[in-house]
Amino acid sequence: MRILFAGTPAVAVPSLRRLVEDGHDVAAVLTRPDAPTGRKRTLTPSPVAACATELGLPLIHARRIDATVRDAVRAVRPELAAIVAYGGLVPREALGIPEHGWINLHFSLLPRWRGAAPVQHAVIHGDEITGAATFQLEEGLDTGPVFGTVTQPVDPGTTSGELLEALSFSGAELLAQTVAGIAAGRLEAVPQAGEPSLAPKLGIEDGRVDWAQPALAIRRRINGTTPEPGAWTELDGQRLKLGPLRASGPVPPEAGTPRPGGVVVLPGKRPRVFVGTGSHPLELETVQPAGRKMMPAADWARGLPAPDATPHADPAERTYLG
């Protein structure tokens, strides 16, 4: 089948590679323009653009699908357009250009988590099962009929980044099967069923930890916003980034009952760092102080002041995160 592929980030690369490996004629690849990256803000091709160049595929760079881009799409005469995290809306005027329309690979079990950040929201809200779906793109936000789904269990210690990477490969297989079924004329989409939920894009403030919340909600917030937009808290007015939380064993009695945000360091061959929450203390594993690299929480804790002597604080409480 002659295909236009639209995608931008690394999670779309397995799908592009799989369509090429399956022998489809990928007539062109639509992706976002080169973007500045790193401290020097060097213009860098998107991961999909880099893959397309490696595979010798024609590129169409565009921030939005305007009239000029629509003409470029018509010129390559696609029978079908496959879209995976392109990063822009497909306007009504473009939907009918390919004979079989646009097939979107979305990283959730629709209609749950329609929107730009389905995997982050699945982790933050404690979903035990998530997955990916292929559906027929239409004007509504992820509302089109579904061709197929694949499921994925969510481990409590996984991050949204790790989960999304796993789904990028199982989703590529699902997309390949969907395209093959459409090409063979044996696959029809069915309307979405169930109550929809929305997954809007997350911003910096969504990564801020509220230590007054229960420990389970904080764990999900930290892992769900890792790596993007990043979990953080404040210490003396400076932002402290928080690494993912893997451990979920029992809290030792020595950790006490620090106030929400209070830091307790348990000494030993391997010091352990706990922070008070709205329920029970939560163990930090890695942190990144301002201007430094990510480090073990125990190494960071060595530089903290002596235990806090303020009223109502745990006797072992070193400092307070806010």
Asked whether residue 210 is domain-assigned, the answer is yes
Q: Are residues 161 and 240 in the same domain?
A: no
Q: Are residues 24 and 114 in the same domain?
A: yes
Q: Are residues 142 and 253 in the same domain?
A: no
Q: Are residues 45 and 113 in the same domain?
A: yes
Domain boundary among 149, 183, 217: 183
pLDDT tops 80 at residue 168: yes
Q: Are residues 177 and 247 in the same domain?
A: no
Tell me if residue 117 falls in helix, strand or coil: coil
Tell me how far CA of residue 135 lies from CA of 6, 91, 101, 104, 146, in angstroms. 15, 16, 10, 5, 4
Asked whether residue 291 is domain-assigned, the answer is yes
Q: Are residues 136 and 230 in the same domain?
A: no
Asked whether residue 196 is domain-assigned, the answer is no
Q: For the segment 92-144, what is each residue's pLDDT rounded down to a tens digit? A: 999 999 999 999 999 999 999 999 999 999 999 999 999 999 999 999 999 99
CB contact burial 67-93 (16+ within 10 A = b; e otherwise): eebbebbeebebbbbbbbbbbbebeee
pLDDT bracket for residue 35 (50, 70, 90): confident
Q: Are residues 156 and 222 in the same domain?
A: no
Domain boundary among 118, 150, 183: 183
Residue 110's nearest CA partner among 201, 192, 11 is 192
pLDDT of the residue at 72: 97
Percent of the chain, pLDDT > 70?
Answer: 99
Asked whether residue 189 is domain-assigned, the answer is no
Q: Are residues 45 and 84 in the same domain?
A: yes
Helix%, strand%, coil% for the chain, nearest 5 = 25, 25, 45
Residue 11's nearest CA partner among 181, 162, 229, 223 is 162
Look up the CATH number of the domain holding residue 297: 3.10.25.10
Question: Structural domain tally of the chain?
Answer: 2
Q: Domain limits at 36?
A: 2-183
Q: For the segment 124-138, what is each residue's pLDDT rounded down to a tens digit? A: 999 999 999 999 999
Asked whether residue 280 is domain-assigned, the answer is yes
pLDDT tops 90 at residue 37: no
Asked whether residue 199 is domain-assigned, the answer is no
pLDDT of the residue at 269: 81
> What is the 8-class DSSP label of residue 229?
T
Domain boundary among 183, 217, 246: 183
Asked whether residue 194 is domain-assigned, the answer is no
Task: List CB contacts of 180: < 8 A, sequence separation 6 or more.
Answer: 22
The sign of the torsion formed by the CA atoms of 135, 196, 209, 166 equals negative
Q: Are residues 315 and 213 in the same domain?
A: yes
- DSSP lists the bridge partners of residue 150 as 132
Asked whether residue 109 is domain-assigned, the answer is yes
Query: d(Cα 68, Cα 83) in Å, to the nearest integer?
Result: 19
Q: Are residues 70 and 167 in the same domain?
A: yes
Name the E strands within 2-142: 2-7, 25-31, 35-37, 42-44, 59-61, 80-84, 102-106, 129-136
